[in-house]
Structure 1
Amino acid sequence: MKATWEKIEKNKVVLNVEVDAEQVAVALDKAFKKVAAKANIPGFRKGKVPRQIFEAKFGVESLYQDALDILLPEVYVQAVEESSIEPVDRPDVEIEQFGKGQALIFKATVIVKPEVQLGEYKGLEVEQKADAVSEDEIAEELKRLQQRHAELVVLEEGTAENGDIAVIDFEGFVDGVPFEGGKGESHSLELGSGSFIPGFEEQVVGLAKGEEKDVNVTFPEEYHSEELKGKEAVFKVTVRDIKRKNLPELDDEFAKDVSEFDTLDEFKQDIVTRLQERKQKSNEQELESSLVEKAAANAEVEVPEAMITTEVEQMYTEFGNRLQMQGMDLAMYLQFTGQDEATVKQQMRTDAARRVRNNLVIEAIAKAESISASEEEINEELERLSSQYQRSTDELRAILSANGSLDTLQNDLTSRKTIAFLVENSKAVEVA
């Protein structure tokens, strides 16, 4: 096989590939065996028809597509490896010659990973924030813990307020006609959470148990349902129950109930320690992100749309996984927010482009500084994962190798080392 390539645009190349006739013949043989196993020819059992009789009846051309399907993926990958290019999208293949007794000649136009022209990335100035914890932050953490451990009490008298849980029946109508998905019974809605259509929760505030009300809302223009976008709707709402959070007192008993400490003072000191650790980690991550952003801003690189689209898909999948961990799925999220998949993905494009650009710059810095993850560092990471997932390092290595994730692991470790290099070579400016 012969493969050459030429750049036709900034991030686009054309592979010119020639595959010898012998390989084409092998592919045609495999195609024949595949097709003959299903061919129905009188006088022959399936899979037993001679090649010359098959070709006489159907023509050798009937094997061409199957042969190409067998041959192209293999030789394309080989051509990419020989040419040392890095495609980031599927190729556009044009067959120039293919047939029995002939060489296969084709062109593959493909988008490749862009070149990065690095700018300044050493000696970058970044703000280094203090790790001190304020009294307001301690109070906010205690308030959050109060909310988490609050007792829900059914309100027999009075009206619903923000922060209450209203248990409601509802049915929505547009132009007097009920619509699909607009009805619910005994639905628990935290008022002020913003989980329903804008304007809905505000109109439930002030209602008492057993009270009914017509709630008037307008669906957002970007709502996921085409039939409801921008439409005015009326929800007939009945309040079944109102539940209010009864916050526990902040005293020693509270500390005993929610921690291993006997006094509130001891518990507060532990909160300070944990908040400091959290803030330190957050500040470190912020510093690293700032350095990467600055290094990327100083570099020149044209990110292909194909890479951004791929990153958006990855981000959307990650978002769905996070929702599942919170007990929600994407369909439910889209319904609650009044958005559709295309809208959410469009919102992700800016961050996706930034992530791709930053990753390309980190990769370029690693190459310029000869930074890479050593085998020892890979083994150390496998040891850490082994402890986390309770599986042997050999088993983890085999799993990662089988699904192609071992290279990803190595790349992640290399990225971490590169970011650490940026931190070591930066100039920190302390701020309050």
Structure 2
Amino acid sequence: MQVTETKAEGLNREYSVVVAAADIEEKVTTRLGEISKTIKIPGFRPGKVPAKILRQKYGQSVMGEVLEGAVNEASSKTIEDNELRPAAQPKIEITKFEEGTDLEFTMAVELFPEFDLMDFKKVSLERLVVPVKDEEIDETLQRIADSNKSSEPAKSKAKKVAKGNIAVIDFVGSVDGEEFEGGKGENYNLEIGSGTFIPGFEDQLIGMKAGEEKDVEVKFPDDYGAENLKGKDAVFKCTVNEIRTVVPAELDDELAKKVGMETLDALKDAIREERSKEFDQMTRQHVKKHLLDALDEAHSFELPQTLVDGEVNQIWSQYEETRKNNPDAIDAEDKDKSDDELKTEYASIAERRVRLGLVLAEVGRVNEIELNQEDLNQAIMQEATRYPGQEQAVFEYFKNNPQAIESLRAPLFEEKVVDFILELADVTDKEVSADDLLNSLNDEEEEKPKKKAAAKKKAPAKKKAAAKEEEASE
């Protein structure tokens, strides 16, 4: 095999590779000999078919198989001999081959960049920590109690519908005199003041007595979910069948049992644990975002264009899908921009994702960070807990779909590398309220486009790609 480097520019390398005709012929002969042992041709015993007949009958298919193997073997050896680290699958093109002559092909490969990692001990981060306070436990308990409240018939027959009561009503809605789908109900329990129905509907029932009828006139909001009802005036013929009084649920063990806990104390503990997990996730999101910002700012190197283009295409595909299936989710400011303008902006997001991916991969490689089976098992367990009652089905899904397990590897590896860096970084905990932490996360999300616009060598980032950016930056 003869290999000649024909291009060495930046991360790009190209090679011209020649595999001798004698090597090709040797491989073909060997392969024909192997299949002759099992092939069945009328008139010949297995292993006794003449080579000429074998070549006539199977020569073309064997040659194709040999050429593919020769190209793969030669390209792999070229990569190994030149100590290359391809960032993507090499592009191979056969430039010359005729039976009995040398095989010639070119190989173009884009490499992973070489760069120095920053000193992670110099990274200073503030971790916003939210303690779970008793007041929050009480508020959650009250919400549980409100959702489990009952009702009883109003004691006074002369009682009128008032805010806080439950009016048991029949109703039929119409627009321009025509009834519409979903606008009819019988013996519906409507808590007055709950805001369950269209604005203005519940208020017009106040003062009515049981057995009384009334036309309730309302207007559907302009942003109403049903397209045919947006902004339309409607009339609901309503009959109050019964007025009921709300009976609050007691904060006791019986309430706890209704939601699957043995005692009220056990329910409180469960609420505290769940709230703590929520806050921990928010804290993790916040500190990780700042860590990745620091990594992005501290590392500057040439990026493999193949990877950048792949990220741009992925983001763009998602944008096009959103534009087609959910156009209302597109930012108003972007609807007036051309596709070229949007793609240019998306390129900055793609570059950040690729840069961070390479940095995290290099941290893992240099420090020999690897995933083990226990890591994967824990991830599967966490996934199963998201589907109460279906845990076994989740386990079976991952057991029977190796590709599903593989989909867990990248995010798991990223989290493991982030943990490694956070252990080295200077992280200071700061106690804040839940609102402060949430506001901080929201403010950073809103400022993301501005930061991108001001960043060196970056175009403005886009909100609608934030979800994709978070995949690479969480």
1:378 aligns with 2:375: no
1:306, distance to aligned residue in structure 2 (A): 2.7
Give the SS at the match of 2:121.
coil
Contact 2:11/2:113 (<8 A) preserved: yes
Give the SS at the match of 1:357.
helix
Rounded to whole Å, the distance in 1 between the matches of 2:423 and 2:359 is 17
Rounded to whole Å, the distance in 1 between the matches of 2:53 and 2:237 is 79
1:416, distance to aligned residue in structure 2 (A): 4.8
Where does 1:239-254 land on structure 2 (aligned, <5 Å)? Answer: 249=249, 251-252=251-252, 253-254=254-255
Q: 1:235 to 1:420 in 2, by over 3 A?
A: closer
Give the structure 2 partner of residue 15 of structure 1: 15
Give the structure 2 partner of residue 335 of structure 1: 325
Contact 1:119/1:298 (<8 A) preserved: yes
Question: May I ask how many residue pairs the two structures share in their alignment?
Answer: 337
Give the structure 2 partner of residue 255 of structure 1: 256
1:423, distance to aligned residue in structure 2 (A): 1.8
1:145, distance to aligned residue in structure 2 (A): 5.2
2:359 to 351, 358, 361: 361
- Counterpart of 1:371 in structure 2: which amino acid? E
Q: 1:379 to 1:51 in 2, by over 3 A?
A: closer
Tell me the alpha carbon deviations over residues 336-366 of structure 1, each in whole angstroms, 9 at most, x when there is no partner. Answer: 45579xx999697665543332221122234
Rounded to whole Å, the distance in 2 between the matches of 1:144 and 1:81 is 64
- Counterpart of 2:300 in structure 1: which amino acid? E
TM-score, L = length of structure 2: 0.50
| Larger deviation, residues 87-96 vs 254-263 | 87-96
Give the structure 2 partner of residue 125 of structure 1: 124
Where does 1:261-272 land on structure 2 (aligned, <5 Å)? Answer: 261-263=262-264, 267-272=267-272
Rounded to whole Å, the distance in 2 between the matches of 1:94 and 1:63 is 20
1:158, distance to aligned residue in structure 2 (A): 8.4
Rounded to whole Å, the distance in 2 between the matches of 1:215 and 1:430 is 45
Contact 2:123/2:426 (<8 A) preserved: yes
Q: 1:250 to 1:332 in 2, by over 3 A?
A: farther
Where does 1:153-232 land on structure 2 (aligned, <5 Å)? Answer: 156=169, 186=182
Rounded to whole Å, the distance in 2 between the matches of 1:132 and 1:104 is 69
Contact 2:17/2:105 (<8 A) preserved: yes
1:273 aligns with 2:273: yes
Q: 1:290 to 1:150 in 2, by over 3 A?
A: farther
TM-score, L = length of structure 1: 0.54
Contact 2:220/2:229 (<8 A) preserved: yes
Rounded to whole Å, the distance in 1 between the matches of 2:348 and 2:293 is 14
Q: 1:353 to 1:268 in 2, by over 3 A?
A: farther
Contact 2:148/2:249 (<8 A) preserved: no
Contact 1:154/1:241 (<8 A) preserved: no
- Counterpart of 2:259 in structure 1: which amino acid? V
Rounded to whole Å, the distance in 2 between the matches of 1:89 and 1:139 is 55
Q: Percent identity?
A: 20
Tell me the alpha carbon deviations over residues 157-189 of structure 1, each in whole angstroms, 9 at most, x when there is no partner. Answer: 789xxxxxxx999xxxxxxxxxxxxxx96599x
Q: 1:138 to 1:215 in 2, by over 3 A?
A: closer
Rounded to whole Å, the distance in 1 between the matches of 2:64 and 2:217 is 69
1:204, distance to aligned residue in structure 2 (A): 6.7
Unmatched 5+ stretches in structure 2: 33-49, 151-165, 185-196, 203-214, 239-245, 385-390, 432-474
Contact 1:17/1:106 (<8 A) preserved: yes
Contact 1:89/1:110 (<8 A) preserved: yes
Tell me the alpha carbon deviations over residues 86-131 of structure 1, each in whole angstroms, 9 at most, x when there is no partner. Answer: 3344544444432222222222223332333433422311102223
Give the structure 2 partner of residue 106 of structure 1: 105
- Counterpart of 1:156 in structure 2: which amino acid? I
Question: What CA RMSD, in Å, does the superposition of the two structures yield over aligned residues?
Answer: 6.0
Give the structure 1 partner of residue 301 of structure 2: 301
- Counterpart of 1:378 in structure 2: which amino acid? N
Contact 1:2/1:19 (<8 A) preserved: yes
1:298, distance to aligned residue in structure 2 (A): 0.6
1:87 aligns with 2:81: no
Contact 2:376/2:405 (<8 A) preserved: no
Tell me the alpha carbon deviations over residues 257-309 of structure 1, each in whole angstroms, 9 at most, x when there is no partner. Answer: 2241433x663453223312432354245434433431232111233343244
Unmatched 5+ stretches in structure 1: 33-47, 55-59, 160-166, 170-183, 189-202, 218-232, 320-329
Rounded to whole Å, the distance in 1 between the matches of 2:404 and 2:272 is 43
Rounded to whole Å, the distance in 2 between the matches of 1:215 and 1:131 is 38
- Counterpart of 1:372 in structure 2: which amino acid? I
Rounded to whole Å, the distance in 2 between the matches of 1:404 and 1:337 is 30
1:251, distance to aligned residue in structure 2 (A): 3.3
Give the SS at the match of 1:122.
helix
Where does 1:31-50 land on structure 2 (aligned, <5 Å)? Answer: none
Contact 2:13/2:110 (<8 A) preserved: yes
Give the SS at the match of 1:76.
helix
